[in-house]
């Protein structure tokens, strides 16, 4: 069970290096649900200490993604909070203080090895790892005298600070998903804590900031498990072990075949997005498609993510945010990776579009018409069309495919569906139908049920089965074998347009 005897404070700490992978959004979601369930705080902290990988605009993009998903932090770079600043680049001075403290206490050391010297070691020793096996003959303060070390520092010789990982020990910690986890320190290298530019690495910064921000539970992907021993040592060496957060290493989101972690390349290869929103790389100009721009509703996206690695123990699949908060528990998060199923992701979106109020999605859908430069006479007509077709939409962008014929006459017809069974009797039927529909006066009579009754009565008089006429009528109005009820279509486009389309289609149907 989670330790909630202390105030629950969780954080999402992304690096602003590019698009936000759906695995990252799921980490946000699980943080958010846990915090809300336990009346805690959800913090956004930007880990921008790796200046070589920093990408302009990525932080703004991350914030926009969280807003779109409705997962707004209680504290962060945008809205501040009692532990500001929330960008690590603005907390730089903190990290050296603690790195120097580790050196004084004998838990870290200065390393002056150049890149060339380390490359040479890698040539000599396959799988070279800076650690207890070799640090005694490398250029660091463990081998230099205090005077030599001070002289190098005074001269401004570039250096890093490394943690001194002990040999022949076994580290244990408890993970709320995986239970007891242990590591052999002989397999852990002396990680860099402070880089030559004075910026901390992730290892030092995450521990210092989690302590200073009073983080109670640390949610992160299982790919960070190998880093756990260094972090546990730092919590101990800095004297903060009693304040160490509960660990929660989340399962990976896997490729659809289950073989390995889902990547952007997999999405590109298989034709689905893996980012929350479109991401345009400012260096290459390449745009990577996102779930939002593909036409996903944020509620559907979040619901889908929640069930990648978690379930409430029932068959329920559709959850409101309040239900997710109420039912979420770490005990129901799986250890095993969760395979991403794009067909299932589409199902979630379809279900949410079907149950959405028209008013909730009309602005997003109307933007599709604007992109097509379609002018509509009034908003009421557009809303009626959306009401009729929304249950047929998997993505919001499907609106045009499902509804274009409400705004434009068909240019082409699926003649293969009609001409093989066409006959003069059908031509006569539709010519008579035009006259019958023309005779209908008053809008109260131009309604779906009446149009259907007139249609079937005329078919009976002509001794033709209505089923043989319905498909040609549909193709006349929409161009193909798709769309909502054909008499609903006729009702909406109106008498004049319905008759015009019958007349135009008859020419195409009867041409040799």
SS3 480: coil
Closest CA to 277 of 290, 263, 264: 290
SS3 425: helix
Q: Catalytic site residues?
A: 264
Encoded tokens for 346: 């589409």
Encoded tokens for 345: 């992701």
Q: Which residues are CB-neighbours of 490 under 8 A, at least 6 positions away? A: 448, 451, 477, 498
Encoded tokens for 28: 């946000």
DSSP state of 48: -
User: For residues 113-127, b (16+ Cβ closer than 10 Å) or e, as one string?
Assistant: beeeeeeebeeeeee
Encoded tokens for 170: 């076994």
Residues β-bridged to residue 42 = 10
Helices (H), 49-162: 58-69, 92-104, 115-124, 146-154
DSSP state of 277: S
CB atoms within 10 A of CB 247: 21
Q: Which residues are CB-neighbours of 455 under 8 A, at least 6 positions away? A: 433, 466, 469, 473, 487
Q: CA angle, corner 68, sides to 63 and 74, nearest 5?
A: 55
């Amino acid at each position: 069970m989670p330790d909630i005897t202390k105030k629950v404070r969780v954080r999402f700490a992304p690096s602003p290096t590019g698009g936000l992978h759906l695995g990252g959004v799921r980490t946000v979601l699980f943080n958010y649900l846990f915090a809300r369930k336990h009346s805690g705080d959800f913090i956004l902290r930007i880990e921008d200490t790796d200046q070589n990988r920093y990408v302009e605009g990525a932080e703004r993009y991350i914030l926009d993604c969280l807003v779109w998903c409705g997962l707004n932090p209680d504290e962060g770079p945008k809205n501040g909070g009692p532990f500001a600043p929330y960008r690590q680049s603005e907390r730089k001075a903190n990290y050296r203080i603690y790195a120097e403290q580790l050196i004084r206490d004998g838990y870290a050391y200065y390393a002056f090895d150049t890149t060339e010297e380390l490359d040479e070691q890698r040539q000599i020793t396959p799988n070279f790892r800076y650690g207890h096996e070799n640090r005694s003959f490398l250029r660091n303060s463990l081998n230099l005298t205090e005077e030599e070390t001070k002289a190098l520092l005074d001269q401004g010789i570039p250096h890093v600070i490394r943690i001194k990982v002990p040999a022949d020990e076994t580290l244990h910690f408890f993970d709320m998903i995986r239970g007891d986890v242990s590591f052999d320190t002989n397999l852990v290298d002396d990680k860099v804590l402070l880089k030559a530019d004075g910026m901390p690495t992730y290892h030092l910064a995450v521990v210092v900031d989690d302590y200073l921000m009073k983080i109670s539970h640390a949610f992160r992907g299982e790919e960070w498990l190998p880093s756990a021993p260094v972090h546990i040592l730092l919590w101990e060496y800095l004297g903060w072990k009693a304040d160490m957060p509960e660990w929660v290493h989340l399962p990976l989101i896997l490729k659809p075949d289950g073989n390995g972690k889902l990547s952007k390349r997999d999405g590109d290869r298989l034709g689905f997005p893996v980012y929350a929103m479109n991401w345009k790389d400012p260096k290459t100009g390449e745009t990577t498609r996102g779930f939002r721009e593909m036409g996903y509703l944020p509620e559907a996206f979040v619901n889908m993510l929640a069930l990648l690695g978690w379930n409430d123990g029932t068959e329920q699949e559709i959850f409101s945010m309040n239900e997710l908060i109420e039912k979420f528990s770490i005990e129901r998060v799986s250890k095993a990776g969760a395979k991403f199923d794009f067909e299932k992701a589409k199902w979630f979106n379809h279900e949410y579009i079907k149950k959405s109020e028209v008013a909730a999605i009309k602005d997003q859908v109307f933007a599709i018409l604007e992109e097509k430069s379609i002018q509509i006479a009034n908003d009421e007509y557009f809303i009626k069309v959306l009401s009729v077709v929304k249950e047929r939409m998997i993505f919001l962008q499907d609106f045009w495919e499902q509804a274009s014929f409400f705004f434009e006459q068909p240019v082409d017809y699926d003649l293969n569906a009609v001409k093989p069974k066409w006959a003069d009797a059908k031509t006569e039927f539709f010519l008579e139908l035009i006259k019958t529909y023309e005779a209908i006066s008053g809008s109260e009579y131009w309604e779906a049920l009446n149009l259907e009754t007139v249609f079937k009565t005329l078919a009976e008089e002509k001794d033709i089965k209505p089923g043989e006429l319905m498909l040609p009528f549909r193709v006349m109005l929409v161009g193909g074998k798709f769309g909502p009820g054909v008499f609903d279509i006729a009702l909406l486009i109106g008498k004049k347009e319905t008759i015009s389309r019958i007349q135009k289609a008859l020419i195409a149907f009867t041409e040799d």
